[in-house]
A and B are shown apart, each in its own frame.
Chain A
Amino acid sequence: MVDRSASPAPNPLPRAARTIERPPHWRASETGSHIFWTSLYAAGLPTLAGLAFFGWAGLWVLALSVGSVAATEWLFVGLARRPSHARHGGHQHTLLLGLLLGLTLPATVNWQVVVLAGVVTVVVGKGLLGGLGHYLWHPALIGRFVVQVLFYDQLSPDKGWLLLDRHHLFFGNLHNAAVASTYSSWAVADAAPGASAFSQGYPLAPIAEMAHGSGQWIHHAVAQTGQSMHSSAGEVLFRLTWDRLPALGDMIIGAVPGNIGATCAVALVVGGMLLMYHGHVRWQLVGPFLLAAALAAAICPLRIAGPTDHLSWQWLPGFVFYNRMPVGPVYVAFHMVSGELLLGCFFFAGDMVSRPITKSGQVIFGAGCGALAIVLRLYLFMPGGAYIAILLMNTLTPVIDRITQPRAFGH
């Protein structure tokens, strides 16, 4: 207020403004909570697909996961007194972490595993590593990684993997499962009488078997052809893609066993597009991620049985043709539509806090994640190669940030 008590000029009653703030005096509409809400509703699509294929069991795991994350967060915030966790979308971020964590777990895990993963996610992944905006690794992936190491059998590819049949979507009992005697594709198969679900092998297991040279069927493939004990790469890949892997269509719609949110390629891609449409995930990350993954899949060698059962490395499997059938490209397609890769790409690699901040950094980061995801999937047999790849690349984020500062005007 101006003191004009001594002034000769009359001093009218001023109009006072309520807010005196530094500029800018208006802001773009998007806030932290908008960003996390958008991620939540984008993640709703794979969630829906997961509920369809895994029913009540899936819902139970998701609810446990969200519940344990939210409860731990509440306790942690209460104990550690970190109000910044709660402000600016902190609540939505908590829900999102819980949901994403649940989506990376199979519907058949024990409740203890889910709760432990939730607690680790919040306490270690988010809380101890700096909280919202500061954590280096994606908290949900930390939670998942820890339970994967501690409870390997629960998430291992060797156990039976379950999937509801087409007559029992959403409401079927996943545990009432039987191995189907004949099964060509989910869309035409029926569960055994009295059962509501199929029990199957882990869908991508044959690919890893081939990379390790461990599957018996590789040798059988050779024996069946009988010709001079020479199996061509094309033949083996043909066996792989046509006989051993699920139907490609099943993979795309998500009708394969797996982690709750990581089976339905369509839902993940549509959800990812939503995130990209809102500008929360940039194509500079998604493009290199998928491209690098496809390239890695096309290049990284598989083991092919040669004469006298000797296994040799077959490089460039993605370019192999067999009787003019594009078995190589189809093999790459299997890699690309696997939900874990897509979930990792859009929802975990795309997480703002743990990816590099500049677009050029995101190109490097995305490409690194994509290529590593395929390499880990092939040679380190543990499901969830993409998740581990993203954790590894998260570690490099500060370095990438440092080397990709934009060029300042005039410099």
Chain B
Amino acid sequence: MKALKALFNGGLYLPSEKSQTLNAPVQTAADCPWLFVPMLQHAGTAAEAIVGPGQAVLAGQKIGQPADGDSAAVHSPVSGTVRAVEEIRLPDGTRAAAAVIENDCEHRPADGINVPCEPAEVTVTNFTERFADWGLVQMQANGMPLHRRLQIAREHNVRTVVVNAMESEPYLTADHRLTVEQTLLVALGLTHICRLVGAEAGIVAVDQRRPDEAALLDKLLADHAEEHGLMLEAAMVDNRYPQGHELMLLKTLFDEEVEVRLSDGAGELASDRAGVCVLAVGTVAAAADAMLFNRPLTHRVVTVSGEAVGAPGNFLVPVGMRFSDVLDCCDVSPTIDRLIVGGPMTGIAQADDQSVFTKQTAGLVLFSAAMVHQPGPCIRCGWCVEDCPVQINPALLAGLAESGRWHRGFAHHAETCIECNICSYVCPSRLPLLEHIRKLKRAMARDQQARAGERGPA
């Protein structure tokens, strides 16, 4: 097993804040009477609801049909009755249709769910439909449907699949618990995904502070490697933030870099061009669960933590459960300053706890102490430049965005930004640097489109 130093420049060792929930076993969240299962839990097209008010559903029954190739199915996590299909607000602020299900708390499974099956039945030719049908999507990053993600990996002939168990955001421990408690599932998932994308090697990247987790994984992976003729191993990787980003993993594991394009968003998918496909550990475990037991993706592990939470923990929650239903059993302080979906570095602040868990929700972090971040003028301390993991100049780019000189963003490689938010974190003037850079990238993308349009008809 390799123990690897972070090879990328910049980055920071953040306070980890994970100790409260690191060793807390995953508890199944108490039954909640109502679920609001969104039809859009991935990047792409929303699924089409195929149930209507009054219809009885079973746990694992499909309630949303993939609309097209960029879509994934949605299943009911519980048994009960659909009461309505209405529009709700998702944690990221978008709105989507959701099936409102009244839970009968009997957990009656649908036919054919939860039965052992033969994963070899999922093949290179049929995985697209099967995965879309199971509702498998990336449970981190951009949330692209898994079959689309694997198709892209196949197009690039990736040679290695990397499972990202780094979880570099502070407070979150859901991925760690999942890896520790479902190690076999992770190992099997990796094996089969390697087979499906035609990769010959698989690596699970584990935080170097968790040698036990890595040793356990390494042993299980070694057992499966021979059987499938793959090179499988676990690697202990330095925990300097944002090591969990796929480009930083590419750098640290293979010492390779790849040019990021505007179309990569926050640098996702760029590593495929270097022959490496990075998947979150939750995604891999969910895929294994589906292939081995015919279980569609209806639940996920989340962490609820933060200094406003009296009883933090890791919970297995059904998608569509309201945040308030989990927070009710976590002894939350009466005053909440921030309610964050995801970690404090990149998570999204919520106005209240009425939104619902989706397949991408890694956790909830709650703070009660108020933090005032009023921006001031840049004092050119240079810390954002020093700590930027992709070595661009956030202070300069923010200046370009503010003065509208976005065309100069190309020369300064604004598209390379992986949106890790380190720059805004360290800025002593509290400038919202990533906000500015996102704005710049959007303007650059518009410009690129306009130019492509000009060229097109000519």
Contact = CB atoms under 8 A, between A and B. Distances in A.
Contacts of A132: 377, 379
Contact of B327 (A15, A84, A279): A15
A22 B371 CA distance: 13
Contacts of B337: 17-19
B392 interface: yes
From A10, A355, A406, name the one whose CB has the most chain B CB atoms within 10 angstroms. A406
A22 B432 contact: yes
Interface in A356-411: 357-359, 362, 405-411
Contact of B346 (A24, A359, A408, A409): A24
A405 B380 CA distance: 14
A30 B335 contact: no
A399 to B, nearest CB: 14
B365 interface: yes
A23 B424 CA distance: 8
A15 B353 contact: yes
A138 B280 CA distance: 49
A359 B377 contact: no
B306 to A, nearest CB: 9
A408 B336 contact: no
B208 interface: no
Contact of B385 (A1, A14, A88, A357): A357
B430 interface: yes
DSSP class of A's interface residues: helix, strand, loop or mixed?
Answer: loop
A10 B34 contact: yes
Contact of A17 (B352, B371, B385, B386): B352
A27 B373 contact: yes
Contacts, number: 205
B131 interface: no
A133 B380 contact: yes
Contacts of B378: 133
A272 to B, nearest CB: 17
Given A16-B336, A357-B385, A25 B432 contact: no
Given A9-B34, A84-B376, A22 B435 contact: yes
Given A19-B349, A25-B367, A12 B344 contact: no
Interface residues of B, number: 78
B392 A408 contact: yes
B412 to A, nearest CB: 7
Given A32-B429, A88-B429, A23 B379 contact: no
From B259, B378, B379, B429, name the one whose CB has the most chain A CB atoms within 10 angstroms. B379
Given A1-B352, A8-B83, A409-B391, A35 B381 contact: yes
Nearest to B349: A20
A405 B89 contact: no
A411 B259 contact: yes
A410 B257 contact: yes
A353 B416 contact: no
Nearest to B273: A410
A27 B170 CA distance: 12
B84 interface: yes
B352 A16 contact: yes
A28 interface: yes
Contacts of A212: none
Contacts of A220: none
A7 interface: yes
From B355, B392, B412, name the one whose CB has the most chain A CB atoms within 10 angstroms. B392
Interface string B418-434: 00010011111110101
Given A23-B348, A24-B346, A406 B393 contact: yes
A19 B340 CA distance: 10
Contacts of B383: 279
Contact of B390 (A34, A279, A405, A409): A409
Size class of A's contact patch? 35 or more
A296 to B, nearest CB: 26
Nearest to B366: A17
Contacts of A18: 335-338, 370
B425 A19 contact: no
Contacts of A409: 8, 247, 251, 257, 260, 389-392, 416
Contact of A21 (B338, B377, B385, B421): B338
Interface string B331-347: 01001111110001111
A35 B385 CA distance: 17
A32 B377 CA distance: 9
Given A409-B391, A410-B258, A410-B260, A23 B346 contact: yes
A87 B374 contact: yes
A133 B375 CA distance: 13
B404 interface: no
Contact of B100 (A7, A26, A28): A7
A97 to B, nearest CB: 13
A406 B387 CA distance: 11
A21 B336 contact: no
A138 to B, nearest CB: 12
B370 A19 contact: yes
Contacts of A358: 382, 385, 393
Nearest to B390: A409
Nearest to A11: B354
A21 B349 CA distance: 6
A154 B273 CA distance: 68
A24 B376 contact: no
Contact of A1 (B345, B351, B373, B386): B351
Contacts of B251: 409
B428 to A, nearest CB: 5
B391 A15 contact: no
A7 B354 CA distance: 13
Contact of A28 (B33, B391, B396, B426): B426
A19 B258 contact: no
Contact of B380 (A6, A24, A352, A407): A352
A32 B259 contact: no
B379 A25 contact: no
B84 A7 contact: yes
Contacts of B335: 18
26 contacts: A1-B354, A4-B86, A15-B327, A16-B352, A17-B337, A17-B351, A19-B337, A20-B349, A23-B340, A23-B347, A24-B421, A25-B345, A25-B365, A32-B429, A280-B381, A357-B382, A408-B390, A408-B416, A409-B8, A409-B251, A409-B257, A409-B389, A409-B392, A409-B416, A410-B257, A410-B258
What are the nearest 8 A-B pairs in CB distance? A88-B376, A133-B377, A409-B390, A14-B352, A408-B413, A410-B259, A406-B391, A17-B339
